[in-house]
Structures are given as structure tokens and as C-alpha cells.
Amino acid sequence: MDKSKSPSLINLAITAFFLILVMVYGIIALSTQDPVWFISTFDEYPEAIDLYCYGSLRTLRPEDPEFDPLVAVVNETLSSTKNFDSLTMSDATYEYYRTSPEVVALEIVFTNKVRIHSIYSFFSNLDSIVIPLVGRHSNVNAIFGRSNGFSTGGALHYRAMPDVTAFVQESGLCPGR
């Protein structure tokens, strides 16, 4: 008997490993409806950024000088390590972000639907992303998604949110109190 053709435990283990890897990938891809869920890069270009600054609104457009640098900082943050939890933004909280004199928040508005790639299906088909910088939920570095005028379920939490807050304050977009 030719020894090179005989079955081995190493070949079985390698085959089993790759089979399990393909199954895990397939299950996550099907459940998230995102075949590239493992790519963490977020590089979308928004139509506008609404800055809710202590009760007042400032809308940034692509022609504004602060727009591109702010988009770069936000995209870098959204490309970083993230964790999901069930914290969901209610309509009352959304309105609070927009109008409260105690809050600074960004709403990144997109023309086309966007997706934040992850193993969580809740952050797909978004037309805006809300990022609280000062006030409710800002201490946990949460971001919330909105689609067709409604909040999506859950929140993603990031480690690098202070970079966005610092940019907004240092650029003079929303000076601190």
C-alpha cells in the first residue's frame, strides 16, 4: 500500500478546520445579508452633516472647508473596533439630540443607503448615522443608525469617539461651553 495516499489525522483536521471556517462565514454572511461583513473599513461620503450644537443646528455641506476633514475623522472612527449592544435611540432621544441646549451631536446624512460592515445586521440600509458627542449616551461612545426616518435597533460602541469630539471642538464648529 502506498503510504502517501493513506488517510491521515492531519488531513482530516485541516479539512474539518476549513469546513468549519466556511460554515461560520456562510452563517454570518446569510444572517447579516453582507458577504463582506469582515471588512471593517467605512469610507462613505455623506451628502451633509447636521451638527446639533447646544440647541442650534449647523449644516455642513461638501463645499464647507471643515466638511472633508470631519468626514475623514468620522470614517476613521467608524472603521475602528466596534461592539454592539441593545441600547436603542428612541424618537424622544433623537429629538433631544436635535434640540437640547445640553447636547452636541452629529447626524451624518447620506444620499444612498450605507452599511457599516460587522457581524451585526442592524447597521445596514442606513440613510443617516447619529453620533452623540456631549450629553446622553456620549460617555459610552455610541452611534445610532436611522433608516427612512426611523431608528434602527441597537447601537455600536467605538473606542475612538473622542477624536470626533475633539475635532468638532478644536475646529470651532461647536465651541465648548
Give residue-wise pLDDT tens across range 86-113. 889 999 999 999 999 999 999 999 999 9
Give residue-wise pLDDT tens across range 2-58. 556 667 888 888 888 999 998 887 887 777 666 766 777 788 899 999 999 999 999
Mean pLDDT for 129-137 is: 93
Note the pTM of the prediction, 2 decimals.
0.81
Please check the confidence at residue 82 and state whether its pLDDT lies above 70.
yes
- What pLDDT, on a 0 to 100 scale, did the predictor assign at position 90? 93
Report which residue type is found at 27.
I
Q: Retrieve residue 117's grid coordinates.
A: 460592515
| Higher pLDDT pick, 80 / 47 | 47
- What pLDDT, on a 0 to 100 scale, did the predictor assign at position 122? 67
Please check the confidence at residue 132 and state whether its pLDDT lies above 90.
yes
Cα atoms in the 13 Å half-sphere on the side-chain side of 23: 6
- What pLDDT, on a 0 to 100 scale, did the predictor assign at position 153? 84
- What pLDDT, on a 0 to 100 scale, did the predictor assign at position 92? 94
**Which DSSP string do the residues of the chain spell out, in sequence order?**
--GGGS--HHHHHHHHHHHHHHHHHHHHHHHHT-TTTT--------SEEEEEETTEEEEE-TTSTTHHHHHHHHHHHHTS-EEEES----HHHHHHHHH-TT-EEEEEEEEEEE---SS-TTSSSEEEEEEEEESTTGGGTEEEEEETTEEPSSEEEES-HHHHHHHHHHTTSS---
Average pLDDT, the chain: 86
Mean pLDDT for 127-146 is: 92
Domain ranges of the chain: 7-32, 48-170
- What pLDDT, on a 0 to 100 scale, did the predictor assign at position 45? 94
Q: What is the dihedral of CA 85, 167, 40, 82, to 10 degrees?
A: -20
| Higher pLDDT pick, 119 / 43 | 43
